[in-house]
Amino acid sequence: MQPPDELMVQEFLPAIRQLVTRKLRIQGFSQNKISAMLGITQASVSLYLSSEIAKVYSTLGQFEVSREEADTYSALLAEDSKRSAVDAVSTLNTIWTSLLGRGSACARHRHQYPSLADCDLCMKEYGESGSGSSEVVADVTDAVRNLEASDTFANVMPEVSVNIACVAGDAASLADVVAVPGRIVKVKGRARAMLPPEPGASRHLASVLLSVKEVMPSVRACINLRYDSRMDRVLRKLRLKAIEVGGYAVSGAEDPAVEALVRRLGPVRPPFDAVVDTGGNGIEPSLYLFGKSAREVALLALQASRLYSVR
């Protein structure tokens, strides 16, 4: 038996870990902190930092991962590693299954094991087979298609990429929130969902959505965008009322951004349209927009992207 997971452990994972290690080091984290965040030894961190980076991109290229995609994946994993080990493992699994589903590991796998020349199991198992029929899944699917079709939306995508989340009725569990597994990433200047939307696909954005829903029950959907001075001007042009959180640091908290939001929501008197997260030590600033449906927040995000793109 020759499962593709051997390739993940032996080739793909070490290459991705090296890129994530470099991302975290550039952001100012010590080697000891990085080793704790990634669950590897300090010696491994030192080796990754001193190794030739061109070999990493070459290895990932054998899995049909471009340099742009590799940098996107490592940015996602670096951000998730700062938040929690569970988030990082979830995103890594999504990246790998997405590659399996589109057949990107097949050539490398067949080269290693010629007896698998006729195998298409991974594409059948992990490839797109429809995004479901529930109303919420259909809502998010339609919203994602609108984002992918835009030629300006990529301009407002943060380094940690985008997700869009939606929940039905009075549901209050993370498992009930529909989102995009692994998020929506930037590929060749356009947005692209890594996998079709499904329930339970996001911990962070789902937590943000449910926290806001506690104080504004009519809210059912949320999207995250980049935040900077230009986006601040866009918010004013759209006349959106925003509340602000930020100034926290990476800590032992399960999700410091969500904990900061929950504290901020205590004295808040709704309604508001957005949450501005100014970030903190090692945390990228973000903007969260809210609405009654995924389509609604996607259209608002597209409107923001068009205003943002005007020079």
Name the 3-class secondary structure at 168: coil
CA-CA distance, 277 to 74, in Å (whole number)?
A: 22
pLDDT at 130: 46
Domains, the chain, with CATH or none: 5-126 (no CATH), 135-309 (3.40.225.10)
- Residue keyed to tokens 């339609």: 142
CA-CA distance, 274 to 289, in Å (whole number)?
A: 5
CA-CA distance, 247 to 277, in Å (whole number)?
A: 9
Q: Please report, as a single letter, which amino acid is at residue 87.
A: D
CA-CA distance, 192 to 163, in Å (whole number)?
A: 11
Q: pLDDT 10s digit of each residue in the chain, 311 long?
A: 788 889 999 999 999 999 999 999 998 999 999 999 999 999 999 999 999 999 999 999 999 999 988 998 998 899 889 878 888 898 899 899 889 988 888 988 888 888 888 888 888 777 765 444 488 999 999 999 999 999 999 999 998 889 999 998 777 788 889 999 989 998 888 999 988 898 988 889 999 999 999 899 999 999 999 999 999 999 999 999 999 988 776 655 568 888 888 888 887 677 899 999 998 777 789 999 999 999 999 999 999 999 999 87
CA-CA distance, 211 to 188, in Å (whole number)?
A: 34
- Which residue, 188, 292, 303, 189, is CA-closest to 235? 303
